[in-house]
């Protein structure tokens, strides 16, 4: 999987409307440098429609992400289910082309990778904990005996390092 797999070439559309399907898995997150996440299994459907002067791009995501609970470090699956609709305006104006959601009339290629990545991030709960995972279970917090305390502290320290990144 590579970044250009997510290029959509509107100029090649035979009809006004086209639908693309994407399998968003671990390979997807490897494309992003310093990705916040590394594992998931999400079906992405992107429906594009050309109109006069603009193109609408509708994203639908359905699946889950694999991650560690921020509290108890258990492996959890967090659901992703979201829809989003963007409108890309076609223009020849160089100034407008530097802004988001504008596309050159002469070069109608648009990469949707970042939009999908951003949509996944926005859909995830702020706190990635067991309660917000697909099985909605409470965290398994182990109450350590005195001699285990050090080990637990180290795990928290590691977690804090991750959060700061």
**22: which 2 tokens?**
């994407």
Q: How far is the CB of 72 from Zn ion (least distance, A)?
A: 3
Q: Which is nearer to Zn ion, 96 or 139 (CB)?
A: 139
Q: How far is the CB of 74 from Zn ion (least distance, A)?
A: 5
Q: Which is nearer to Zn ion, 83 or 125 (CB)?
A: 125
In this structure, how many other beta carbons lie within 10 angstroms of the beta carbon of residue 55? Answer: 20
CA angle 124/127/131 to nearest 5° reads 95
Q: Which is nearer to Zn ion, 98 or 160 (CB)?
A: 160
Residues that bind Zn ion (CB under 5 A): 69, 71-72, 74, 130, 139
**Contact partners, residue 131, CB within 8 Å, separation at least 6:** 137, 138, 139
Q: How far is the CB of 150 from Zn ion (least distance, A)?
A: 21
């Amino acid at each position: 999987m590579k970044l250009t797999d997510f290029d959509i070439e509107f100029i090649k559309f035979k009809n006004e409307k086209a639908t693309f399907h994407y399998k968003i898995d671990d390979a997807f997150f490897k494309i992003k440098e310093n990705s916040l996440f590394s594992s998931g299994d999400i079906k992405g459907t992107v429906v594009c429609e050309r109109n006069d002067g603009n193109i609408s791009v509708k994203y639908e995501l359905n699946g889950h992400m694999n991650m560690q609970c921020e509290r108890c470090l258990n492996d959890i699956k967090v659901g992703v289910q979201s829809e989003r609709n963007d409108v890309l305006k076609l223009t020849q104006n160089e100034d407008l082309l530097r802004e988001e959601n504008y596309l050159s009339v002469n070069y109608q290629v648009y990469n949707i990778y970042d939009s999908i990545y951003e949509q996944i991030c926005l859909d995830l709960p702020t706190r990635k904990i067991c309660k917000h995972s697909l099985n909605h279970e409470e965290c398994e917090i182990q109450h350590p005996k005195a001699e285990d305390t050090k080990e637990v502290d180290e795990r928290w320290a590691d977690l804090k390092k991750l959060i700061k990144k």
